[in-house]
Structure 1
Amino acid sequence: MATSTYMKLATMRRPRTESLPGVAGVVRLDRRAPRLLQRLHAGDVAVVDVADMDRATADALIAAKVGAVVNAQPSISGRYPNLGPEVLVAAEIPLLDGVGAGIFSEVKEGVRVRIEEDSIYAGERLLASGTRQSVATVAESMAAAKEGMSAQLAAFATSAQQHMHQEKQLLLDGVGLPELDTDFAGRHVLLVARSYDFKSDLKGLKHYIREFRPVLVGIDGGGDVLRDAGYRPDLVVGEMDAISEAALRDAGEVVAHADAEGRVHGLARVQDLRIEPKLFPTAGTSEDAAMLLADAGGAKLIVTVGIRATLEEFLDAGRGGMASTVLTRLKIGGRLVDAKAAAQLFQTRISGVALVLMVLAALLAVAVVLVASTDGNSYVHILSHGWTSLVNQLKDLFS
């Protein structure tokens, strides 16, 4: 009887989120997206504080398989056509926009919430309301943002001038670059960020990596991308709260991207792991910092995975990120190659059909010679062993 009464009371106290309409999930919230991304699980409701959400953040949220995204700020402010919201709604992930900063005090991490239309609730209690984005609303906002492109390009010119003045000694003379143990001189370098098309691009470079054995550099979450693909990063560069402990421990060397005042996000966390990173203060992005390090080290070729390459992607980073990246690319020049171009340049030199025909011809020749021998058992054993070895090599080549 006591047990039955307890069960009834527990049922009465249990939030009825599952029986209420909307998309439900456990809330995870953080004002800094890189920290939040490391704590997300499938089905979580991610609460972020990101004005003009970029595609890299949206891709990471999709990869985490979140159930919904709630943004304290407008995901598209109209300043420029950022790509994140378009990617999220295309993936059919509910996006509730502009709910206000009060959401961070209204709800605690781990509470089960639900998104119904344009509001977020804890059970039946209203937490905040905003704008529920859809394919139509995002398209409308993007069209309006694109009308201001000329103004954004003019603002970019001003931003580039300011960045050049601020970072003149670094860009022209290398002042402020840390001394590294990683050897770039005369070698290919592969820079990997967890952003634009990083999975497919890294997969397309498998044969290139095998042949040229480039220096592997993970930028922010790119260190984890390399680990997940079975590689050990020689160097990780970026904000320390954007890199997992496993990637930090595995890396041959760690460089912390500090801002112009020398502040580093997540530095204490890394020092707790008994890792003392080398500091690189720059107003540019972590991607720019990695490019400049490879360039200063005398890299022969720098191949980028998941790093901005088109005008759309530069705009997606906002004016500050666009200016520093464009200037960094101008400094490096022709030694910088995007992953998609590199995959075309360094694809396997012999076609699959030609290779198979060559192998069959070789096998036929061997069979003719061995049939002429008097020891039939030896022939069968040798041919069987050779065929097994050959099949394994072909699997490795085309995998």
Structure 2
Amino acid sequence: MALFSRNPEQPGALRDCTPGAKGMKKFSEGDVAVIDAANISRHEAQTLVDLKPSAVINVAEFSTGSIPNYGPHMLLDADITLLEGVGQSFVSEFKEGKRARIGEDGTVFSGDKALGTGRMVTRERAEKNFASAQGALIDHMESFFGNSIDFINSEGPLLIDGLGVPASGSEIAGRKVVLFSPTDKHREQLKQLRNFIREYEPLLIAVGAAADSLLAQGYKPDFIIGDPNSVSDEALRCGARVIVPADPEGEVEGLDRIQDLGIGAMTFPAATHSGTDLGLLFADYHGADLIVQAGGGVDLDDIFEDRTNPSAVLSRLKAGTKVVDADAVINLYSAPSSNLGWLWALLGILVAIAVVILIVGFGGNQDFASNLSETWSSLFGGA
């Protein structure tokens, strides 16, 4: 693979192409794309290929070995130099637009300053990672579905007939429910769901620490599900009904906390302690009309990359079409941006002027034109 030239006249400006950065807009053919994309997909790779970079520097690994992804092959087919694993510190070290070169050992230089070091990705390495990932994915999926069968075997009565679901929740029937899980994005999603909440007044189910997020934004949860040790005293005492996960033998984490606070709580015995999974089963069992899940969902990539478990998948399958991701609802309630605001303002001014003219023209004792002339003369005649 060709390395960057030491000649400063050669192209090779570093461009930050990580999510939210502005490097994509400034990108010119031959620049160097800096990304943070583990297991880069074909779509992501094609976006880079279209930019025609001389090299792509990845903070993460182009392929971690967890899934067989074609992204690295597409970039190599386009004769693009690939450097991976430079680490998060590299993002803060380089300056947007500065020219760079890559040494034979994978060190990135800007002038004489070393910004970081990574690994060169060759065709041989990409093929080896792909083959290894194929085998690992098959092994992982066999294990995942084996665990799914075990979960169904132990929790079939819960999944089929709702055995063990707390009985207190009859008011959920026919209502819309928003289930908040305490992930990185749930607070922002809560703000963006305010119009939906105002219009439909759904019941609010908070999982663990999400109860405190609801209180902080002026909402009171109707139900709190999860380990009480992750919830503040204020939230536990806010009037919400508290549901505490219990293992199949009946042991409950956080029971001492509930007793010390002197509040009532219901137990939910199951083979999973995930408040989100239990919340979905709880809302579905009691007949929720719609369940909006805020704080992250589950997709096939999560299964492939071992970011979820069988209970998460099966609980969502049980709730079926009732479950809607919060981002979908937010998208429906987001008005498209418009650049025509100035036109509406101008139209409003013109309408106001026309109204004034009509009032003046028809408001006098003379004909329309004479009334306008007399009013104009009285206002500006002495100017």
* TM category, shorter: 0.5 to 0.7
Q: 1:173 to 1:209 in 2, by over 3 A?
A: same
CA distance in 2, matches of 1:323, 1:192: 20
Which of 170, 180, 183 is the equivalent residue of 1:195?
Answer: 183
Higher deviation after alignment, 289-298 or 348-357: 348-357
Alpha-carbon offset, residue 170 of structure 1:
0.7
Partner of 1:326: 313
Partner of 1:310: 299
Q: 1:263 to 1:354 in 2, by over 3 A?
A: farther
Tell me if structure 2 keeps the 8 A contact 1:256–1:277.
yes
CA distance in 1, matches of 2:291, 2:343: 33
Which of 320, 325, 333 is the equivalent residue of 1:346?
Answer: 333
Asked if 1:292 is matched to 2:281, the reply is yes
Partner of 2:195: 207
Alpha-carbon offset, residue 204 of structure 1:
2.3
- Secondary structure, aligned partner of 1:167: helix
Q: 1:349 to 1:325 in 2, by over 3 A?
A: same
Alpha-carbon offset, residue 272 of structure 1:
1.0
Q: 1:331 to 1:135 in 2, by over 3 A?
A: farther
Unaligned runs of 5+ in 1: 1-77, 82-88, 93-133, 375-399
Alpha-carbon offset, residue 182 of structure 1:
6.1
CA distance in 1, matches of 2:284, 2:252: 23
CA distance in 2, matches of 1:304, 1:170: 21
Unaligned runs of 5+ in 2: 1-63, 68-86, 91-115, 120-124, 364-383
Partner of 1:279: 267
Q: 1:267 to 1:317 in 2, by over 3 A?
A: farther
- Secondary structure, aligned partner of 1:256: strand
CA distance in 1, matches of 2:65, 2:208: 26
Deviations 1:324-343 (A, max 9, x none): 11111111111101111121
Partner of 1:223: 211
Over aligned residues, Cα RMSD in angstroms? 3.9
CA distance in 2, matches of 1:213, 1:304: 15
Largest Rg, 1 or 2? 2
Higher deviation after alignment, 302-311 or 346-355: 346-355
- Secondary structure, aligned partner of 2:178: strand
Higher deviation after alignment, 361-370 or 200-209: 361-370
Alpha-carbon offset, residue 136 of structure 1:
6.7
Partner of 2:13: none
Asked if 1:270 is matched to 2:253, the reply is no
Partner of 1:169: 157
Partner of 2:224: 236
Q: 1:279 to 1:316 in 2, by over 3 A?
A: farther
Deviations 1:357-399 (A, max 9, x none): 399749955993799499xxxxxxxxxxxxxxxxxxxxxxxxx
Tell me if structure 2 keeps the 8 A contact 1:309–1:338.
no
Tell me if structure 2 keeps the 8 A contact 1:235–1:254.
yes
Q: 1:238 to 1:361 in 2, by over 3 A?
A: same
Deviations 1:146-169 (A, max 9, x none): 662321111010000010111111
CA distance in 2, matches of 1:181, 1:355: 50
CA distance in 2, matches of 1:352, 1:254: 48
- Secondary structure, aligned partner of 2:237: helix
Deviations 1:50-95 (A, max 9, x none): xxxxxxxxxxxxxxxxxxxxxxxxxxxx9979xxxxxxx8599xxx
Tell me if structure 1 keeps the 8 A contact 2:298–2:312.
no
Tell me if structure 1 keeps the 8 A contact 2:173–2:289.
yes
TM-score normalized with structure 1 length: 0.52
Which of 129, 137, 142 is the equivalent residue of 1:149?
Answer: 137
Amino acid at match of 1:159: N
Tell me if structure 1 keeps the 8 A contact 2:181–2:208.
yes
Alpha-carbon offset, residue 239 of structure 1:
1.3
- Secondary structure, aligned partner of 2:244: strand
Percent of matched pairs sharing the same residue: 32
Tell me if structure 2 keeps the 8 A contact 1:156–1:322.
yes
Q: 1:278 to 1:368 in 2, by over 3 A?
A: same
Tell me if structure 1 keeps the 8 A contact 2:169–2:286.
no
Tell me if structure 2 keeps the 8 A contact 1:236–1:251.
no
Paired residues, number? 244
Q: 1:365 to 1:230 in 2, by over 3 A?
A: same
Tell me if structure 2 keeps the 8 A contact 1:217–1:237.
yes
Alpha-carbon offset, residue 274 of structure 1:
1.1
- Secondary structure, aligned partner of 1:183: helix
Q: 1:334 to 1:154 in 2, by over 3 A?
A: same
CA distance in 2, matches of 1:315, 1:255: 31
Deviations 1:123-143 (A, max 9, x none): xxxxxxxxxxx9979xx9xx8
Q: 1:263 to 1:365 in 2, by over 3 A?
A: farther
Partner of 1:256: 244
Which of 333, 337, 344 is the equivalent residue of 2:324?
Answer: 337
Tell me if structure 2 keeps the 8 A contact 1:182–1:234.
no
Tell me if structure 1 keeps the 8 A contact 2:175–2:288.
yes
- Secondary structure, aligned partner of 1:280: strand
